[in-house]
A and B are shown apart, each in its own frame.
Chain A
Amino acid sequence: MKTEDLKNSQEYKYGFSTDVENIRAPKGLNEKTIKFISNIKKEPKWMLEWRLKAFNRLKVLKEPDWQKPKYPKIDYQDLYYYSAPKSVSDKPKSLDEIDPKILETYKKLGIPLDEQKRLNGIAVDAVFDSVSVATTFKDELTKKGIIFCSISEAIKKHPDLVKKYLGSVIPLSDHYFATLNSAVFTDGSFVYIPPHTRCPMELSTYFRINASETGQFERTLIIADKGSYVSYLEGCTAPMRDENQLHAANVELVALDDAEIKYSTVQNWYPGDENGVGGIYNFVTKRGACRGKNSKISWTQVETGSAITWKYPSCILQGDNSVGEFYSIAITNNHQKADTGTKMIHLGKNTKSKIISKGISAGKADNMYRGLVEIKNKASNSRNYTQCDSLLMGNKCGAHTIPYIKNNNSTSTIEHEATTTKINEEQLYYCNQRGLDQEEAVSLIVNGFCKEVLQQLPMEFAVEAQKLVAISLEGSVG
């Protein structure tokens, strides 16, 4: 093995930071900070009141501690809650007004924002620290009545929709991190698809943490009205820093009658170095409500980054015949830890859910699948199928599966399968004998292991995700 090459390629590709002048809220979690955020965003009064209500609720909530990965106590008073490049503190009207350094940053990340070079057929909302810096393809979407903008803009321009749906899936007083987010969220994306409309392109948000000592609290709300369809993808990166940075996002999805939302995530936050120093704490609440009959929500996630990943994208299957899906790949290497899975709550009749989870651990990492499937007493003829596969690379990593199952309806069934395998030396040998080097062989075998999940991703991203899977495991066998 050419160690030099390995070193170079193993380095986190997105670890650079951009030197821009920032506007920051003073450090600390208090009413003043919340008012600062609301004020700088020129929010209406109802929004500030909503935030303050969340903040009051937060005072009596405790940080949860039942998760497997433990982390040092976070000093919430020692964090910045708002940081925005000066140049975009007032949202720029056109790309010309955006700091060229930021445009350059997105270019380096492979997300060009300028008009000529935009990604083909993918509309992008780019969030830099606490603000959305640009949304592409807006006009084309507007023609169809589709709203795709930053949540800050939606609060001002579409208050009725926001008031109606914000917090309707993740209530104000949910759990600690979700409530913290409700109090201090800064930006994120908003999507509304009108009835009987098929969104003609992938919608995508790209989150970038740049500033240090700053938490990122993004908020995304997607509403698919009756008979509509949308596919949405988020990607994330952060600079390499030796501090741990907190990312606590809330994502809410609402699917009305016959609507479908496909939500894909490729999470590649900075994972920390090989000794476990630095990296993002990715504590995220994602929840979708299949509110209408025959509605469908499908989560696909490829989690390769972050020091700690702690999230359970969930579906609340309220409408009769609604469908919830969760496809997940969680890769942990070195000292990374992941505690992730899903919750499928069956309320309506004939509701179906499917969970496919692929956990891969290497190095000294720990990977946990934790999932809840609950069939309530009125959810007759409902079905769940769960399959959890773990792949271990080496002897120092761990994999765990904890399924919680509650079935309160005798006409409904829950099925669970789980496997744990070690990466097979014989398979590697077979590949080597056919001329593949160790890295190619691992990539091939692991991508084979993840196939059912990878094929859920939109084409353009499946290829990227495959490469990412290979890169995150480089040097882990050999």
Chain B
Amino acid sequence: MLNIKNLEAKVDNKHILNGLNLDIKPGEVHAIMGPNGSGKSTLANVLSGKNGYETKGEIKFDGQNLSELSTEERAQKGIFLAFQYPLEIPGVNTNIFLKTSLNSVRKARGEKELDTLSFLKIVKEKSSELGIDEKFLSRQLNVGFSGGEKKKNEILQMKILQPKLAILDETDSGLDIDALRIVADGVNSYKNKDNAFLIITHYQRLLDYIKPDFIHVLSKGKIVKTGDAELGVELEKTGYANFI
């Protein structure tokens, strides 16, 4: 599904990614771990097409070269990024944002746009699965949400938009143990043989709930070690020092 070859990324002449290779197949869960500043969020941003990076190398998504696609086209094709720091957009009602977003994606897929009623039905179902109060969704997008509420809202959006590849950038940071379990359940219930996850995290504790097929250690913009779920346990004990 996703094939990254020799990916390099620069910002203001600073090298952040330095020849990164990664292959993700449908049905797989990949975790990326690595110290602060190793380039995890940069990888997520480059994949989703954020402006401002100078890149080299190749990224293919379902066989298509991603560099040809704008951010919204990638989103419409099924790349979703749950942000490390979800942004506040004052004055924009969360429900209206979700509906606009879902309809853009549906339109691009050649599906019929949803009217308000059918949209609300979907939202109701998905938000109750995540224990999100509906009242919450008539508030301004992320404005005044707690850290945990923002992260849950990201997962809600994932479940509504139904991406093929979901990238979770430190979604677990700042979550208490209950919220962590809810988020993990959200991911597990969405996971199937056709979609894939790239989970960026610092902590093994999330991986206790979401079992990864692969764990990659990122250091200085490169994957320096790849292993299975056991690698996470080892990292938890020894830290990154042995690998970088």
Contact = CB atoms under 8 A, between A and B. Distances in A.
A451 B140 CA distance: 11
A429 B104 contact: no
Interface stretch (A106-114, A147-155, A435-443): A435-443
Nearest to B101: A434
Contact of B90 (A431, A433, A449): A449
B75 A448 contact: no
A429 to B, nearest CB: 6
B48 A433 contact: yes
Interface in A402-450: 424-427, 429-438, 440, 444-445, 447-450
A449 B96 CA distance: 14
B91 A432 contact: no
Nearest to A443: B100
Nearest to B107: A435
Contacts of A434: 75, 97, 101, 104-105, 157, 161
Interface string B76-101: 10001101001101111000110011
B72 interface: yes
Interface in B142-181: 157, 161
A432 B89 contact: no
A429 B89 CA distance: 12
A243 B227 CA distance: 72
Contact of A448 (B81, B89, B157): B89
B81 A433 contact: yes
A216 B96 CA distance: 40
B89 A445 contact: yes
B75 A430 contact: no
B51 interface: yes
A11 B121 CA distance: 39
A448 B102 CA distance: 18
A393 to B, nearest CB: 15
Interface in A439-476: 440, 444-445, 447-452
Nearest to B50: A429
A148 B136 CA distance: 45
Interface bin, chain A: 20 to 34
Contacts of B81: 433
Interface string B108-132: 1000000000000000000000000
Interface bin, chain B: 20 to 34
B91 to A, nearest CB: 3
Contacts of B49: 432
Contacts of A435: 72, 75-76, 101-102, 104-105, 108, 161
A437 B74 CA distance: 11
Contacts of B90: 448-449
Contacts of B70: 432, 437
Question: Which of B87, B90, B91, B141 has the most chain A CB atoms closer than 10 A to its own CB?
Answer: B91
A430 B89 contact: yes
A452 B83 CA distance: 28
Contacts of A430: 83, 86-87, 89
B97 A444 contact: yes
A123 B86 CA distance: 46
B82 to A, nearest CB: 10
A440 B100 contact: yes
Contact of B91 (A425, A429, A431, A449): A449
Contacts of A424: 87
Question: Which of A432, A440, A447 has the most chain B CB atoms closer than 10 A to its own CB?
Answer: A432
A432 B104 CA distance: 10
B92 A432 contact: no
Contact of A451 (B71, B80, B91, B161): B91
Contact of A432 (B75, B80, B100, B141): B75
A425 to B, nearest CB: 7
Contacts of A449: 90-91
Question: Which of B72, B86, B102 has the most chain A CB atoms closer than 10 A to its own CB?
Answer: B72
Please provide the 4 A-B residue pairs with the shortest distance between their CB atoms, ordered closest to farther.
A448-B91, A448-B92, A432-B71, A435-B104
5 contacts: A427-B89, A434-B157, A437-B104, A444-B92, A448-B92
Interface of B: 48-51, 70-72, 75-76, 80-81, 83, 86-87, 89-92, 96-97, 100-102, 104-105, 108, 140-141, 157, 161
Interface of A: 424-427, 429-438, 440, 444-445, 447-452
Given A431-B97, A433-B72, A448-B140, 4 more contacts: A431-B101, A438-B72, A448-B92, A450-B91
